[in-house]
Each structure stands twice: as C-alpha cells, then as structure tokens.
Amino acid sequence: MDIISTHALPRPLIGISGRRLRGAAIGAPHGFADAPLEAYLSEYSTSVLHAGGLPVHLPMDAVPAELVERLDGVVIVGGDDVDPRLYGQTPGPFTPLIDPQRDAFEAGLIEAAISGGIPLLGVCRGAQLLNVVRGGTLHSHLAPGEGESHGSYAYPRAHRVHEVRTAPGSVAQTLYGETTRVNSFHHQAVDVPGRGVVVTGWAPDGVVEAIELEGLPAIGVQWHPETFGADPVFGWLVAQAAARATLAASATQNIA
C-alpha cells in the first residue's frame, strides 16, 4: 500500500529563530568577549517538544530559504523592535537597539515559509514582523500606564494580565475559545494589517493581539505562549507541520 501512517513518520522539524549576541553576555573570558553567540530561549524548544515536534535552532548566517526548504514548520520568536524604517517610520526616543541582520534573516524565513506553505507561528516581535513583511505597519510605541499597559514587566512571565477576544471562525477562536487571558510584554503592536493579514484577536483596549494569513497556515500572537507550558498554539503548529510532512512523504513515495 502507498498509504503512509503518521505514526511511522519522524517528528516534524520545527525551526526556531534566535538572536545574535556576544560572548560577554554569558561571561566569556577575555579574548572571547566579542565572539559571536547564537542565543535561543529554551521555552520555545520545550513547547515544540511537548507538542510532538522536533525543534531545530536556526543560525543567522544560513540562507533562510535553504533552511525552510528542509523544515516542516517555523517559529519566529520575540525580541527587540522591528526596524521602524521597514514600515515607513523612523526610530524614536523609545526605540531600543535595532538588529538589521536579524530583521533581514527572520523576514527571509517568513517569506520562504509563506511561499512554500510551511506552517508558521510568530510570537510577539514575530507577529509584528509577519505583518511588516506583508506590507503592514506597527504602532511604534504604546505608552506604559495607558490602556492595558502592554509593556509592563511588573508580573512574572507566565502571569495572565488581560483578556483577549477572538474573532469567530478564526484559528485563534478554535484554539482559545471566544476569550482567553494572556501575558503582555510589548510596547509595539500591529497597526495597519498587511496583504492577506486578518486581525483575529484584540485586547480590551483595542490593541491587536492575534493575526492570521488568509488561506495559509500562519498565525501571529502578541503574547508569549511559550511561557505557559502547553499552550495550544504549539499543538496547532506541530499538527499542521505533521500533516504537511505526511502529504509530502506520500507524494514522494507515489512518484517513486
């Protein structure tokens, strides 16, 4: 028979982006303080593992399209601001250090995933960059103390500080129901949606909390689901990636 059981297939490979630091960040000895360092927050890989996927850390020196070609799913993680010049603005007084190399690398991962129909999850900065890659814009700064104070670091990472309302018929509502509670560590957010971007989640003050791409397995969330241990969005990503891998393996066997 040509039917391939999903149980016979290896775990889907889920690529996870990181960030470029220097050895001094981990207390490297003199002589290695300026050595380039790839840093990855382990909660992302742990979440992928618990959902049934096999995490793969993606080095920034690689060609994004070549990486994505070998993957079944992609996670674009949180971090510092997306360069405002990428969406028609300029850095302001609340813009922290910008990393053009990371912006270009992760944008390449997003573009390759969209082009290949690879399941994609963007978290916080990753959701924002997904919108920017599609030609959308961001609110460059949400002032602390206003609305839900989205940029507050006053609470533990996994503390759910505010509610999110989801859109009917969306992936977000399928995963979380009509409402869910989330953590919040951001001072930027999606403003004008890009091409094919649909807003599917909102905070009580109207700030965008979830986006999806029409007709594609891509979702972005403004909160940090990796801190919750078993957030359903990772289950969705791994399930989508496994289904795609199964179809690809079946097609390969049929050709052979």
d(CA 201, CA 220): 10
Residue 89 in tokens: 């603005």
- Residues 97/17, Cβ–Cβ less than 8 Å: no
Contact 144, 152 (CB under 8 A): yes
Given the residues 150, 162, 186, 224, the one annotated as active site: 224
The pairing of beta strand 162-166 with beta strand 179-182: antiparallel
Query: Distance of CA 98 to CAs 19, 92, 141, Å?
Result: 12, 11, 14
Q: Are 80 and 98 in contact (CB under 8 A)?
A: yes
**Catalytic residue (one of 106, 209, 212, 226):** 226
Is residue 178 flagged as an active site residue? no
159 catalytically annotated: no
Asked about 226 being catalytic, the answer comes back as yes
Selecting among 106, 124, 150, 209, the annotated active-site residue is 124
**Residues 6 or more apart whose Cβ sits within 8 Å of residue 151:** 142, 144, 184, 185, 186, 187
Note whether 232 and 166 are within 8 A (CB): no
- Tell me which amino acid residue 84 is: P
Alpha-carbon distance of 215 to 136, in angstroms, equals 18
- Across the strands, what pairs with 202? 165, 208
Radius of gyration of the chain (CA): 18
Active site residues: 124, 224, 226
